[in-house]
Structure 1
Amino acid sequence: MPHIKLSNLQNINYPILQDGVKFKYEAVSEHESLIAVTIENKNFFLTKTFKKSSYLIKYEKSTRISPISYIIKALNSYHKVTNSELIFSNLNINMPHESLENSYLKDIEFFLKNNWNNNLDVLIEIGFGSGRHLLHQAKQNPNKLIIGIEIHKTSIEKVLKQLELQNITNVLILDFDARIFLELLQSQLASKIFVHFPVPWDKKAHRRVFSETFLNEALRVLKKDGTLELRTDSKEYFDYSLEIALTQNRANISIFKNQDIEISSKYEDRWKRFNKDIYDLTVKNCFESKNKENFTNFEFDFFVNTDNLEEKISSYSKNVEEFLLTFYKLYKIGTKDYLLKVTMGDFNMPQTKYIEIINNKAIYFDKFPIASSATIKAHNRIKEILS
């Protein structure tokens, strides 16, 4: 992580420009400051923390940008603009290589763009693990686009290497919560969704991928006659999923026990050696779903009375089951403006966002939140509290 330690900083008047880096303002809290930075239309924060006799300056991780050279430039420019004494720097150390574009690994913003699939038929695999099944599907379906979703970093790295080594070009990888991802997709996009050997979470059922909400979203995303395929070695997970599937009136259901398929995972091979049963549940979508209406209104269309802002935030009750909302910290900008740090959205993948309140107008810093249903509910609650 690039960072510097400075002492004897001169006060600066914001906004100020140094070597193409704009420092817009400094938001101050009891223990740290956030410095708003703009460089080539990219916005992020540097954190400034006093430790012993010097200030530690580094980037704020939830606003991190790529490539890392932008962050290094901002740190160097801040050192210059404050005319400060440099106590320590690791900016000359070789940082991990970061690619501006990766032909396989994409972030969630990529999938929010229109026509990212180039009108190709889509197959989705959730939790691809070793990648055997994912790579097999890609080779068997060269004219389809395969999306692999995984949150285990080592699995992602291994599959990315295999994709490059085997010169497979019809795969996109996403490190994201699959449940939220399906919410964000357009209807009738995919012909198949695979969920092979998900973590059963026998003692924490709420963490399971498969749920009534997940199934409804999967069927919406599937084309007519498209299928959702669950494969598991957990009888408890299978029974749980089958019970959910049987509540549907818009799909037909097939079940198999110990069915051989064209390719098996390392995980499956291990269980077969121990003669463990494997269960398949296939849910076929029988209807054409209408497209979801995209939510884009993350605006605050009112003036915020900041006289009792801290009181409003501190009095908020967190006893809500449908979404997560935590007011993490309130910063002061100058004498009358504020910066509010919030954690919001889905419990399993919350988003950290900053809300600028300048001249009594509120706006999200840099980008709107990702519009999952839980995030929309959290945003509406923020509006209620600030209004």
Structure 2
Amino acid sequence: MPEQSNQTEHSYQLETLAVHAGTKRSQFNEHSEAMFLTSSFVFDSAAQAAARFIGAEPGNIYSRFTNPTVTMFEERLAALEGAEQCVATASGMSAILACCMGLLKSGDHIVASRSIFGSTVNLFGTIFKRFGVDTTFVSATDVNEWEVAVRPDTRLFFLETPSNPLTEISDIAGIAAVAKQHGVLLAVDNCFCTPVLQRPLELGADIVIHSATKYLDGQGRVLGGAVLGSKKVLEPIYQFLRTAGPTMSAFNAWIFLKGMETLKVRMDAHSANALSVAQWLETQANVALVYYPGLPSHPQHELAMKQQKAGGGIVSFEVKGGREEAWRIIDSTRMISITANLGDTKTTLTHPATTTHARITQEARDAAGISEGLLRIAVGLEAVSDIQTDLARGLYK
């Protein structure tokens, strides 16, 4: 018989945590995590109800802010990221919204990378601005710009690394040092890497953001988001979610639990496939530039390999001929999905200037380096040769 192990759950390796962390069985002792599809929970007495509502007794109250399936998702992702707490939300954007609404007030200031998702740019630059929260956009890669942008009212640094869509790599530890010097919280969107490839909290970040819709699910099925960090930092974020309700559903949480079971295997495979596709794209005459952190030609390759375990699944490339040529390549594909989503087992292809970043200004697109000839491919789990063949239909004139 094998020897008994004294391991606790959080001493397991990441791939084991991805399968087991957070699992709690009901009285039926089910093998797979249960879905609790209920809006509310029944109390044993009026006194218990009162105790639950004021937080004197732990337990479920109402699925807007307490649900056993969602809690299992939160605890599993927290274990993977090495976080004290996770707050699950309805989408990746609602995770960013909940984070900022919980932590900021009118008169506060954000410093954010200009190389972030288009909807995040709009949230910071347009919507929050209407409520008196100002944002300064700076370089993703120049730590000094973050230092210069700090004001007495700065409360939050926000970045995503690798960035969307140019895969720029931010020095998390370097920016975290600036943030701590000025008493500012640093939030890192870890959507592209997941905790399999990068753990921002270990590099000095205070908050990790996820669009669980992407790789945490991995099959393009449902929407969800998450905010992770210490209990102290997340308390006001949880209180915002409890009140305002941008909540993850129990069904979606159950899907994410199943998705995370294969997260390590998938991220390794996505990274290997993406590296092969990126290397191949560099050899194509119609391709002017390839952006992939795993390539030695990437400007921040050394930093990427220091803070990431692999390059990830996202490759962007610049084609000669601008929008006309980029669209022709997209329209020539037969297998690849033409969609702006990413993190799927299926390879997806999009034109950022007219999709993910279409709603920001031309000036903002130019500042972020998003040209009309730029394409972003989220490399899936198909055979690399089939992905290359499909792209070659448009690349080979």
Q: Same fold (TM over 0.5)?
A: no
State the TM-score bracket (shorter-chain normalisation).
under 0.3
Q: Which has the larger radius of gyration?
A: 1
Q: Which protein, 1 or 2, shows the higher relative CO under an 8 Å CA cutoff with sep ≥ 6?
A: 2
Normalising by structure 2, report the TM-score.
0.27
- What is the TM-score normalised by the length of structure 1? 0.27
Q: Which has the higher helix share?
A: 2
